[in-house]
Amino acid sequence: MLLSGKKVVIFGVANEKSIAWAIARLFHEQGAELAITYAGEAFEKRVRPLAESINAVAILPCNVTSDDEIEAVFRELGSLWGGVDIVIHAVAFANKEELKGTILNTTRDGFATAMDISVYSFLAIMKAAHPLMQGRGGSAVTLSYYGAMKVFPSYNVMGVAKAALEASVRYLSEAVGPDGIRINAISAGPIRTLAAAGVNGFHHILNHVEAKAPLRRTITQEDVAGAALYLCSDMAAGVSGEIHYVDGGYNVIGL
Ligand SMILES: NC(=O)c1ccc[n+]([C@@H]2O[C@H](COP(=O)([O-])OP(=O)(O)OC[C@H]3O[C@@H](n4cnc5c(N)ncnc54)[C@H](O)[C@@H]3O)[C@@H](O)[C@H]2O)c1
């Protein structure tokens, strides 16, 4: 088992299709002890039974727009575990109206919301996690998309947010690396989830990737979980600041 006894907190489980849920299940199978957070009361009904099914030791509310709620999570984990080894950040949001048409639809408020929930939340979480992760050989992984690098229809402000998230991975890796903490991102290919359903015409992107990616298929939540396991285990002890593609190879294709 690659994660025996590791203390893991996961942000981003909404339902059984969530990428974070596939990661939670695999990490549980690999011997990790898990804390699962949910975005607010509306999500608890769905998330609690999932978390209980893998014996999560803590199931905590955390709307990532609230510093108080983020701090409360790590206070609780500090008293429960005394330290944290692994953080999974699989959280993103943009208003639906801004995930259609062009980026010219972006409002000032919509931009701030997308950046706050999809980017700043990772910095805020790592700020709160940092004191609990020092000197344990810890690791954090966030989720990005190729829309950070290239233009995809309707992805708009979320592409800008993912570009900022990927830059944050590099800056964070430098900030916490001296304390033995590694920071990486997985750039996942398109997968049908709740978040993806918000992107207008998402099925066109899926069909295109399926036809053009070297592997001639789209990827699964389990494909992403496998890469997260590698990045969070000692197998990747020398890896930090990376954006690791799990996209069937789609990003290498020119035409
Ligand atoms: N599905 C894809 O095609 C795809 C591809 C590449 C990257 N990603 C990224 O993977 C991550 C997980 O998304 P997913 O596809 O599993 O969808 P998902 O909808 O299951 O997960 C998104 C999560 O963000 C959480 N969230 C949103 N606002 C929040 C807030 N204010 N506070 C706390 N949590 C909040 C939701 O509760 C949900 O759990 C996201 O960062 C997404 O951008 C997804």
Domains annotated for the chain, with CATH where assigned, are: 7-252 (3.40.50.720)
- Residue 219: the pLDDT is 98
* CA–CA gap between residue 30 and residue 1 (Å, rounded): 5
pLDDT in tens, 213-245: 999 999 999 999 999 999 999 999 999 999 999
Catalytic residue list contains 145 = yes
Residue nearest to ligand 1 atom 28, measured at CA: 93
- 190: DSSP letter: P
Q: Indicate whether residue 66 lines ligand 1 (CB < 6 A).
A: no
The H or E element spanning position 183 is: strand 182-188
Regarding pTM above 0.85, the answer is yes
What's the CA gap between 89 and 205, in Å, rounded? 24
Q: 96 pLDDT band (50/70/90 cuts)?
A: very high
Instruction: Report in angstroms the alpha-carbon separations of 6 from 1, 125, 146, 238.
Output: 11, 18, 30, 18
Average pLDDT of span 239-254: 98
- Pocket lining: 14 vs ligand 1, CB cutoff 6 Å: yes
Structure tokens at 33: 């002890």
Contacts 24+ apart (CB under 8 A), 106-115: 106/156, 106/157, 110/157, 111/157, 111/160, 114/157, 114/158, 114/160, 114/161, 115/160, 115/161, 115/164
The CA distance from 94 to 177, in Å, is 30
> Considering only CA atoms, which of 1, 4, 2 is closest in space to residue 233?
2
- What is the pLDDT, as a whole number, of residue 162? 98
Tokens encoding 95: 């208003």
Reported as a single tens digit per residue, the pLDDT across 130-177 is: 999 999 999 999 999 999 999 999 999 999 999 999 999 999 999 999
User: What pLDDT was estimated at residue 239?
Assistant: 98
pLDDT at 196: 96
Judged by DSSP in three states, 96 sits in helix
pLDDT attached to residue 231:
98
Tell whether ligand 1 has an atom less than 6 A from the beta carbon of residue 8: no
How far is ligand 1, taken at its centre, from the CA of residue 241, in Å?
Answer: 21
Residue 246 CB neighbour total at 10 angstroms:
20
**pLDDT tens per residue across span 29-79:** 999 999 999 999 999 999 999 999 999 999 999 999 999 999 999 999 999
The whole-angstrom separation of Cα 142 and Cα 218 is: 20
